[in-house]
């Protein structure tokens, strides 16, 4: 098992233990006058709610290796192994729990991560943004998720296949800037997932303090203080 797969599994276990809302539960929360944000099952929903969920959740919650390769074909650089591992587990989301007998083709068994406000992007959405915004300016970059109101987290591609690659945090108006001037937020996606895994476990066992949270962030990140603020406000 690769390190990122282990980190994702740890987060998924906490998601089940803490009863994180699934994708439909978080989505319906934004659609008044539906119930508060919570984990829901299809049997609990009205026909109207089911239709809303079906219309909204039109992407596959996980991808096969061939689907990843097909979607990422326009990307001019090599995807790292950690990206292949992530999208085969969750396509813009993470599983809730790790039971083998769950239906892992159902969005009811997945949650947004790190949060509904700033979730991981589906690979289709990431590639759409890449084709429309980055091919001309910085084709090495591939967006992974929003990070605050006006910032996006990008992976920095490599010409050679790598296990991991750095993640860069960029203000939306600066995507055409010289990459050399951009600051690395996480040394890798794996580091980011390890940080969230350790934070989630500490939150679950009641040992998380502001000081411990900072230590976790500094342990895995590149030390950006603004990045620490975004890390500290999720879940």
Region of 145 on the Ramachandran plot (φ > 0 left; ψ -120 to 50 alpha; else beta)? beta
Around 218, how many Cα atoms within 13 Å sit in the side-chain half-sphere? 7
What integer pLDDT is reported at residue 197 of this predicted model? 96
What integer pLDDT is reported at residue 232 of this predicted model? 72
What integer pLDDT is reported at residue 230 of this predicted model? 73
Helix 189-204 vs helix 81-89: crossing angle, to nearest 10: 50
- Whole-model pTM? 0.92
User: Is there a contact between 176 and 166 (Cβ–Cβ < 8 Å)?
Assistant: no
What integer pLDDT is reported at residue 147 of this predicted model? 76
pLDDT < 70 regions, the chain = 1, 226, 229, 233-235
Q: In what order do the strands lie in the sheet with 184-186?
A: 141-146, 151-156, 167-171, 184-186
What integer pLDDT is reported at residue 1 of this predicted model? 64
For the chain, the C-alpha Rg in angstroms (whole number) is 18
What integer pLDDT is reported at residue 67 of this predicted model? 97
What integer pLDDT is reported at residue 234 of this predicted model? 62
What integer pLDDT is reported at residue 151 of this predicted model? 85
What integer pLDDT is reported at residue 172 of this predicted model? 78
The Cα diameter of the chain in Å comes to 52
Cβ contacts of residue 200 below 8 Å, gap of 6+? 10, 11, 14, 15, 18, 235
What integer pLDDT is reported at residue 231 of this predicted model? 78
Q: Which helix (H) or strand (E) holds 185?
A: strand 184-186
What integer pLDDT is reported at residue 30 of this predicted model? 85
């Amino acid at each position: 098992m690769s390190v990122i797969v282990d980190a994702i599994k740890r987060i998924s276990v906490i998601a089940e233990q803490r009863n994180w809302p699934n994708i439909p539960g978080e989505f319906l929360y934004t659609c008044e006058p539906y119930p508060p944000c919570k984990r829901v099952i299809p049997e609990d929903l009205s026909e109207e709610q089911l239709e809303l969920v079906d219309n909204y959740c039109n992407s596959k919650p996980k991808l096969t290796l061939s689907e990843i390769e097909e979607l990422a074909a326009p990307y001019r650089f090599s995807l790292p192994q950690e990206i292949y591992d992530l999208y085969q587990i969750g396509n813009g989301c993470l599983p809730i729990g790790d039971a083998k007998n769950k239906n892992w083709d159902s969005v009811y068994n997945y949650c947004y991560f790190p949060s509904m406000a700033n979730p991981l992007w589906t690979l289709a959405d990431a590639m759409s943004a890449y084709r429309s915004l980055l091919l001309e300016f910085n084709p090495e970059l591939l967006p992974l998720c929003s990070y605050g109101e006006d910032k996006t987290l990008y992976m920095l591609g490599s010409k050679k296949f790598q296990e991991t690659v750095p993640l860069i945090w960029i203000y939306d108006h600066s995507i055409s800037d010289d990459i050399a001037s951009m600051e690395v937020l996480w040394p890798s996606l794996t580091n980011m997932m390890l940080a969230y895994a350790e934070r989630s476990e500490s939150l679950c066992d009641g040992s998380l303090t502001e000081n411990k949270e900072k230590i976790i962030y500094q342990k895995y990140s590149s030390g950006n203080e603004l990045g620490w603020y975004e890390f500290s406000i999720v879940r």
